[in-house]
Chains A and B, each alone.
Chain A
Amino acid sequence: MPLRERILPLLGAALIGLAVLSPAAHAVNPDEMLDDPVLEHRARELSSEIRCMKCQNQSIDDSDAELARDLRILVRDRLQAGDSDRQVLDYLVDRYGEFVLLKPRFSLANLLLWLAPVASLLGGALAIWRYARNRRGAGGEAAVAELTTEEHAKLTKILDERD
């Protein structure tokens, strides 16, 4: 991995303040970009799914930490070497673990995470279905009408109490 370590050149006094890394800024720099627009586009898409491991919840596309920069260059190197998107991600996971992926893999360990939306939606539908069935079984329109009157009486009473 060619780590393009750079030493900031001597700059005019006016520019010195700018040389310090800022904590958060959109990060990809022109000198990292690939000439091939298709590859560069893929690199950007991939970068937004890869975590800058020492940052809090930032992708390497968003972070300008030194580590994020190294990873951006690494991703581009792999793409230029002919890797598929999948291979690049596999390569990173092999080296840094699943922590590097902002979108966890669909695996057994992450099953609960991925199934949560579906399970919750199905659970809700099931609860409504059972509720509706019980209500229909419990009583017809007559029973309902009675209940409503009683509740209305109760409501009126409460309102009267208050006034």
Chain B
Amino acid sequence: MINELGHFALVLALALALVQGALPAIGAARGDNRLMAMGPSLALGTFVFIALAFGALTAAYVTSDFSLVNVWENSHSAKPMLFKVTGVWGNHEGSMLLWVLILSLFGAMIALFGSNIPPDLRANVLSVQGWIAIAFLLFILLTSNPFERLDPAPFEGNDLNPVLQDIGLAIHPPMLYLGYVGFSVTFSFAAAAMISGRIDSAWARWVRPWALAAWLFLTAGIAMGSYWAYYELGWGGWWFWDPVENASFIPWLAGTALLHSALVMEKREALKIWTILLAIITFSMSLLGTFLVRSGVLTSVHAFANDPERGIFILMILIVFIGGSLTLFAIRAPALKAGGLFQPISREGALVFNNVFLATAAATVLTGTLYPLAMEALTGAKISVGAPFFNITFGPLMIPLLLLMPLGPLLSWKRADLYPALQRLFWIAALALIVTLAVAALTTDQPVLAALGIGLAAWVMLGAFAEIWTRAGIGRTAPATSLSRLGGLPRTLWGTALGHFGIGVLLLGVVCVSAFERETVTEMQPGDTASVAGYRFAFEGVLPVSGPNYSEQVAQLSVTSPWGNVFAMRPAKRIYQARNMPTTEAAIETIGFSQLYISLGDVAADGKLVVRAWWKPQVTLIWIGAIFMVLGGAVSLSDRRLRVGIAERAKSRRKQAEPADASA
């Protein structure tokens, strides 16, 4: 019964989305306020009904209702409750339902918090959101219905893929979707602005909070996925350049570029055409990612050709939305008047530089991801494009970006003087140089590249705060004055600094773990000891343990650190009974920012157990860096000036309080 209600709610949501797609836009075109005013309630209604459908599917998972094909295929009555719930989106149908749920959630958010947006713009935005919802609801109902029944209902389900039975599944996909689908809002704003023909700096100001919110969720989602893969897959890799990862990374690169170019558009009315195009591209890349992951085209072009129904459907969605928005863009863009002029050496110039490199990086990853598919489809030749290609092309593209990152925020808008900006960075450059030399001197057996990398990280980390340092006048005015100025600085400034600092922290982690990682692979039997990077581990034996829906063999290791403290580590191998599928459960001990990572391999010919141990120096900085970036985004988002209207009132208040130092 609940299943039928869920199915029915989904169809009702489609009906509402059809109305949402039509009426507000017609209202905006005719200037009919009544039709436009229907937008918010329709968006809320669509959200409520999709949420009901989602709730119904969750209820089926919680109660292990195997009369639903989807639940039978992906769940098991013995599965822990957390994984029963997260299992809802651990499969194709459920994850698409989560996709539209989040899409409609953003629609509802615009309805609730978008009262400062002009009514006609908001009406068009909600209509475009409605069109996207129509497309994906149709996709779910016609090709991927999670409410399909099975008769007679089996007694037991097939269980969820064991690799997905992890807390990571509870956090990673929802976060990722909040990011990826969040960029639908910037897309809708771009489309709506082009429909109404109103594209100016106010538009950028309305869009930026949404772009920022989507970006910070996407950042968190990707970082979470990276850590999940790191501890789950059993060999401590944190980024694989896998097409599925790339599918989320390309929108991230484009979205990061969008954040920066929207800044120029907001402050200086420049880069309007480019910003609109980026808003379209970013969401197009999200759609492309959905296509790549959901159509099965990645597994093999042939798998896609054999069962093309779903793939073709998403491909059509892709063509309609990307093609449609680009057509609209081609019609509208020439009519856009160019905004403020600027010199090459200026804040705008620096942000253009940033955009060129980020866009190139996105294009590189995109080409690398699609090239094998295109080659096979067009010529039949099979080639692989993997990590070595991306490392060699993507890495060098990041270096100029990182080198200039501290400089950009110090340049003034319109026309900047390079010399004073460089002067302010002198001490930071000197410190970074000292760090480089010190590392090079201390690690004579390592490649110089490691020292340079750490120096670059120091440059980025310290340089991130140069703007704040300068604005507060630290070292040039009395400490009390500096302190009060620090408090008065706008939050977006702190957001930028934290975000850029996070990139530096991430880089430090990447360089350290790439250059100084130590590995020991050895065969052990009870009583044996081995060591990695000064940590001695003794193998004491294997204990069988049984979990709720798996049984595992847990190796008992006693580890002695170079300083003599002893701790236990318990890497394991699990067998999930329902699918008879094994997984590796690594044991990880965090020591400072570094980690000792031990996982079990196969049983060797002589009956000994293969034990793999890694010393991963400063590896956690990779994710701590991402946390700083997310924090930066959140701080920036909390800046009152991002909200139009409030900004006006705040400005007049600020004018009375202190006359100096407005904004950046």
A residues with a Cβ closer than 8 A to B are 6, 8-9, 11, 14-15, 17-31, 33, 48-49, 51, 56-57, 59, 62, 64, 97-104, 109-110, 112-114, 116-117, 120-121, 124-125, 128, 132, 135, 141, 144, 147-148, 151, 154-155, 158-159, 161-163
Report if B339 contacts A (CB, 8 A).
yes
B contact residues around A113 at 8 Å (CB):
367-368, 371, 385, 389
CB <8 Å contact, A14 and B553: yes
| Cross-interface CB contact of A29 among B356, B371, B610, cutoff 8 Å | B610
Q: 6 A-B residue contacts at CB 8 Å?
A: A17-B553, A30-B521, A30-B610, A103-B389, A155-B202, A158-B200
CA distance A98 to B600 in the complex (A): 32
**Contacts beyond the supplied A17-B544, A20-B582: 8 A-B pairs with Cβ under 8 Å:** A15-B603, A22-B234, A27-B235, A64-B602, A97-B382, A109-B379, A113-B389, A117-B364
User: Given A21-B582, A25-B235, A154-B200: A99 and B360 within 8 A (CB)?
Assistant: no
CA distance A25 to B523 in the complex (A): 15
CB <8 Å contact, B364 and A57: no
For chain B, residues 153 to 208, give those with C-beta under 8 angstroms from any C-beta of chain A. Answer: 163, 198, 200-202
| Cross-interface CB contact of A117 among B363, B522, B603, cutoff 8 Å | B363
A contact residues around B382 at 8 Å (CB):
97-99
CB <8 Å contact, B338 and A17: no
A93 CB, min distance to chain B CBs, angstroms = 11
B232 CB, min distance to chain A CBs, angstroms = 9
| Cross-interface CB contact of B359 among A22, A51, A120, A155, cutoff 8 Å | A120
For chain B, residues 493 to 538, give those with C-beta under 8 angstroms from any C-beta of chain A. Answer: 521-523
A contact residues around B357 at 8 Å (CB):
121
| Cross-interface CB contact of B387 among A11, A25, A48, cutoff 8 Å | A48
CB <8 Å contact, A18 and B371: no
User: Given A25-B584, A162-B116, A163-B645: A151 and B337 within 8 A (CB)?
Assistant: yes
Report if B605 contacts A (CB, 8 A).
yes
Tell which of B236-244, B462-470, B478-486 binds the partner.
Answer: B236-244
CB <8 Å contact, A62 and B235: yes
CB <8 Å contact, A120 and B202: no
B contact residues around A24 at 8 Å (CB):
233-235, 584
| Nearest neighbor of B647 in chain A, beta-carbon distance | A159
CB <8 Å contact, B388 and A8: no
CB <8 Å contact, A99 and B384: yes
B contact residues around A57 at 8 Å (CB):
240-243, 384, 386
CB <8 Å contact, B602 and A18: yes
Over the window 313-356 of chain B, the binary record of Cβ atoms lying under 8 Å from chain A Cβ atoms (1 yes, 0 no) is 00000000000000000000000011111001000000010011
A92 CB, min distance to chain B CBs, angstroms = 12
Of B384, B583, B584, the most chain A CB neighbours within 10 A belong to B384
Pairs A-B, 3 closest by C-beta atoms? A26-B235, A102-B386, A103-B388
For chain B, residues 353 to 395, give those with C-beta under 8 angstroms from any C-beta of chain A. Answer: 355-357, 359-360, 363-364, 367-368, 371, 375, 379, 381-389, 392-393
| Cross-interface CB contact of B607 among A11, A144, A155, A158, cutoff 8 Å | A11
CB <8 Å contact, A17 and B383: no
Report if B399 contacts A (CB, 8 A).
no
Report if B548 contacts A (CB, 8 A).
no
Report if B62 contacts A (CB, 8 A).
no
| Nearest neighbor of A154 in chain B, beta-carbon distance | B200
Over the window 386-422 of chain B, the binary record of Cβ atoms lying under 8 Å from chain A Cβ atoms (1 yes, 0 no) is 1111001100010000000000000000000000000
CA distance A57 to B339 in the complex (A): 45
CB <8 Å contact, A56 and B605: no
CA distance A18 to B604 in the complex (A): 10
| Nearest neighbor of B245 in chain A, beta-carbon distance | A57
Report if B269 contacts A (CB, 8 A).
yes
| Cross-interface CB contact of B341 among A6, A135, A161, cutoff 8 Å | A135
CB <8 Å contact, A109 and B386: no
CA distance A74 to B494 in the complex (A): 55
Report if B644 contacts A (CB, 8 A).
yes
CB <8 Å contact, B389 and A102: yes
B470 CB, min distance to chain A CBs, angstroms = 27
CB <8 Å contact, A9 and B118: no
CA distance A135 to B604 in the complex (A): 70
CA distance A151 to B383 in the complex (A): 52
CB <8 Å contact, A98 and B381: yes
CB <8 Å contact, A116 and B389: no
A contact residues around B86 at 8 Å (CB):
none
CB <8 Å contact, A64 and B381: no
| Cross-interface CB contact of A103 among B367, B386, B573, B581, cutoff 8 Å | B386
| Nearest neighbor of A161 in chain B, beta-carbon distance | B118
A46 CB, min distance to chain B CBs, angstroms = 11
| Cross-interface CB contact of B612 among A14, A26, A147, cutoff 8 Å | A26
Report if B445 contacts A (CB, 8 A).
no
CB <8 Å contact, A102 and B388: yes
CA distance A112 to B522 in the complex (A): 43
B contact residues around A114 at 8 Å (CB):
393
CB <8 Å contact, B299 and A56: yes
CA distance A48 to B340 in the complex (A): 50
CB <8 Å contact, B523 and A100: no
CB <8 Å contact, A9 and B605: yes
Of B582, B602, B604, B645, the most chain A CB neighbours within 10 A belong to B602
